[in-house]
Amino acid sequence: MKKRSISSQLIASIMVNAIYAMVNYPIVLVSTILAPFSLLIVISFISHGSLTPVAIGGALIMTMISSGTSMQQDLSHLKNDFKVQDMIVSSPVRAWVYFLGMSLSQIVYVIPALIALVILAAVYIHATAIGYLSIIAVMLIMFVFASALGFVLSTLSSDVVQSWGFSGIVSTVMSALPPVYYPITYIPMPFQYLAYLSPATYAAEIVQNITGLTSFSTGTILIDWTVIIAVTAAMLFIAMKKSKWRED
């Protein structure tokens, strides 16, 4: 049996889903860099700059969440329009290697935007080293959650139109509902409760607490960490058990 190089398998995913797309269509690169800045700029202007640090923290979280959830559309497109998943299933590639490779490709895709946001964060967010590390941890946890969700949905979709439907729901729950770019106190009661249906709200509270503009009790922050870790673990478990690598 041939010895398979996992690094080659991971690189293949990164090349197909990120590098070649950007090399063959440079416009993709421009759009990727611009994507996280639209809401960030709007919030900064509306708040006359007072919410800029919160909005930058929000943009960092949303960049990771959107890159994870957009895996759903990318993989659905590859699966349903090109039958790539069928080609890959009938090959030595294991589902987790494909998932990991495609997840890494999403990170590579947003590296230019992340670099710009990190520079802005260094300027506007004044936090301790632990604070910065916490922001990175929150970003990674939310990315794992979102990409696992994206992967599961992509394997369940049987048509790209169906994947648009998934995408709309995910976008509402993960982007529209949570107060990522502004404090949750800006949402009137009882609608704040709705925001807590989204894991992104808990992630946003942690980051907003670090920026210092909104402060939450230690208990709330502990609950926030517990929730995002628990939902991510649950989503990974679902990805392992419920993804349809081989169709029924």
Applying CB under 8 A, the residues found at the interface with other proteins are 1-6, 8-9, 11-13, 15-16, 20-21, 24-25, 78, 81-84, 86-94, 98, 246-248
152 vs 234: CA distance, rounded Å: 12
Q: Cβ distance 97 to 10 under 8 Å?
A: yes
Based on CB atoms, which residue is closest to other proteins, 8 or 128? 8
178 vs 125: CA distance, rounded Å: 21
Based on CB atoms, which residue is closest to other proteins, 5 or 218? 5
The backbone torsions φ and ψ at residue 5, rounded to the nearest 5 degrees and listed phi first, read -95, 115
227 vs 193: CA distance, rounded Å: 15
Based on CB atoms, which residue is closest to other proteins, 81 or 164? 81
> Whole-number minimum distance, CB 175 to other proteins, in Å?
26
Instruction: Give the residue among 63, 217, 221, 58 at the shortest CA–CA distance from 124.
Output: 58
Tokens of 218: 């230690």
> Whole-number minimum distance, CB 104 to other proteins, in Å?
14
Where is 174: in which H helix or E strand? none
- 199-211 and 52-82 helices, crossing angle to 10°: 150
> Whole-number minimum distance, CB 216 to other proteins, in Å?
44
> Whole-number minimum distance, CB 2 to other proteins, in Å?
6
Based on CB atoms, which residue is closest to other proteins, 79 or 110? 79
> Whole-number minimum distance, CB 1 to other proteins, in Å?
6
Based on CB atoms, which residue is closest to other proteins, 46 or 86? 86
